[in-house]
Amino acid sequence: MYKGSAYRLLESYDVKVGDRIVVKTRDNEYRGILMPRYELADDLHLVIKLRSGYNIGVSIDEIVSITLEAREEEEAAIVGRGEEEERERKRERRDHRVASLEHEYAYEHNTRLAMISTGGTIASRIDYRTGGVKAALTAEELYSIVPELSSIAAIDAEVLMQEYSENLTPMHWSIMAERVGEKMEQGYDGVVIAHGTDTMHYTSSALSFALQNLPVPVVLVGAQRSSDRPSSDAATNLIGASLFAANADTSGVFVAMHNGRSDDKIAVHMGTRVRKNHTSSRDAFKSIDAEPIALVDVDSRRIEMLASNIRNRDKGRRPVVKARFDERVALIKFYPGFDPSIIEHLISKGYRGLVIEGTGLGHVSKRCFNAIRDATASMLVCMTSQCIWGRLRMTVYDTGRDLLSMGVVPLDMLPETALTKVMWVLANSSSMDEARSMLLSNIAMEFK
């Protein structure tokens, strides 16, 4: 499966995939098994499975010599044993056991990243023959696609779930939050979550509320084009997210994706302030009414911090995980002709929260006033703006003042963030008064 320059190099040394080899570079010597690469990966790296279980990508430019130690056939038993170990590790993860994995990270890195895949384009590989999608984010496959990762940190990758992100629900946010909490307890220097892009901003804001007092960064990352396409942004995004998670002196929940049209600049966004603003472009994710908090240059590996108000990294800090969400919350976008009976339907279904995407500064038609008045008796009714940009200001016009006097809570934040916040607040408060007070507190820099 090697091609081009890499193939010619391997041929000249007469080694094949599966062979045990020793690769010498100017600075190092790597001993391990030559791993296969995906069809559309580049032709500039070899991937070697080291004795530690980790794969490493070696740039062919740096290779001084390759020595064959044993042929594939002789190694079959060893590889087989390796697979059995991998299956065992997966079983452990499924049981949600927290095991000390310290001994796994012997190889050269002091920095350890946990990479959790949840599904989506970045973690999948489309099989063009069957049309099926295969989750591809075992550590081995990851290194095979993005060998540069091995130079950033020791990465422990696991498949937590396999869903297109449009299928994720608040229950999945809870599972992710719990798992990230475990990774924090295990002392990782950062967590990277590979995620479908469709709802990645909902998840990032949900995790921002669920994961507090974080010692290190949690970085969500996706891809707009799948890993096996030549134009894929998967590798660059993963490298940018990993560089930031491993090295940035910061903590919290972030989203890392392409910045502008540039091929090697990754923008890191605050988890509560980001939105998917384009269906297909690589720079679809934008910070709203704010700058990205950092830019990562994947080529030079430089991290440029643009925000100074973010809590620094401190591995001594103990994370607080509040992973529950109340699903009885609806997001409703108002429009001319909107039928207030939809609100009445939610009241009758026992909903506890309603986030309205109003117009302009935070308005809806007076036709909705009765339904909203009814709703405030049994639920938190909150206002945001469908304009997306700009501040919510409900005191300027009669309409806004009328709504405030009915008890509507103005949430000057993205509607998507308001939704996850109301879901989280309702599951983590013991009275409507407490809930209302939490709603109006700035918990994860969500207010504009």
| Active site amino acids | 121, 197-198, 276
**Min dist. Cβ of residue 266 to a copy of itself (A):** 20
The radius of gyration of the chain's CA atoms, rounded to the nearest angstrom, is 24
Q: Residue 343 is encoded by which pair of tokens?
A: 């609100």
Q: By CB under 8 A, tell whether 239 contacts a copy of itself.
A: no
d(CA 37, CA 47): 7
Number of amino acids touching a copy of itself (CB under 8 A): 66
CA distances from 229 to 87, 211, 263, 265, 442 (A): 28, 34, 15, 19, 41
Q: Of 352-411, which residues contact a copy of itself (CB under 8 A)? A: 357-367, 385, 387-393, 397-399
Q: By CB under 8 A, tell whether 419 contacts a copy of itself.
A: yes
**Min dist. Cβ of residue 336 to a copy of itself (A):** 5
Q: Residue 338 is encoded by which pair of tokens?
A: 């909107």
User: Minimal CA–CA distance to 295: which of 348, 257, 330, 324?
Assistant: 257
Q: Binding a copy of itself by CB under 8 A: which of 13, 107, 334, 447?
A: 334
Around Cβ 77, how many Cβ atoms within 10 Å? 9
Amino acid letter, residue 307: A
Look at the chain and count its residues: 448
* From 81-89, 158-166, 371-379, 428-436, span contacting a copy of itself (CB under 8 A): 158-166
Around Cβ 350, how many Cβ atoms within 10 Å? 9
Contact 358, 338 (CB under 8 A): no
d(CA 83, CA 98): 21
34 or 426: CB nearest a copy of itself? 426
Q: By CB under 8 A, tell whether 416 contacts a copy of itself.
A: yes
Contact string (CB under 8 A) for a copy of itself, positions 18-57, x = contact: ----------------------------------------
143 or 351: CB nearest a copy of itself? 351
Helix orientation angle between 170-185 and 415-427, rounded to the nearest 10 degrees = 70
13 or 338: CB nearest a copy of itself? 338
78 or 342: CB nearest a copy of itself? 342
d(CA 52, CA 30): 11
**Min dist. Cβ of residue 272 to a copy of itself (A):** 15
Q: By CB under 8 A, tell whether 169 contacts a copy of itself.
A: yes
E strand or H helix that includes residue 355: strand 353-358
d(CA 108, CA 230): 31
d(CA 247, CA 209): 23
**Min dist. Cβ of residue 304 to a copy of itself (A):** 26
* From 10-18, 64-72, 81-89, 337-345, span contacting a copy of itself (CB under 8 A): 337-345
Report the phi/psi class of residue 260: left, alpha or beta, with left for phi > 0 and alpha for psi in -120 to 50: left
Q: Of 72-131, which residues contact a copy of itself (CB under 8 A)? A: 131
User: Minimal CA–CA distance to 411: which of 396, 421, 402, 401?
Assistant: 421
Beta bridge partners of 286: 275
**Min dist. Cβ of residue 362 to a copy of itself (A):** 8
Q: By CB under 8 A, tell whether 278 contacts a copy of itself.
A: yes
* From 7-15, 53-61, 170-178, 237-245, span contacting a copy of itself (CB under 8 A): 170-178
**Min dist. Cβ of residue 109 to a copy of itself (A):** 35
172 or 265: CB nearest a copy of itself? 172
Q: Footprint of a copy of itself on this chain (CB under 8 A)?
A: 131, 133, 164-170, 172-173, 197-199, 202-203, 276-281, 284, 325, 327, 329-339, 341-342, 345-346, 349, 357-367, 385, 387-393, 397-399, 416, 419, 423
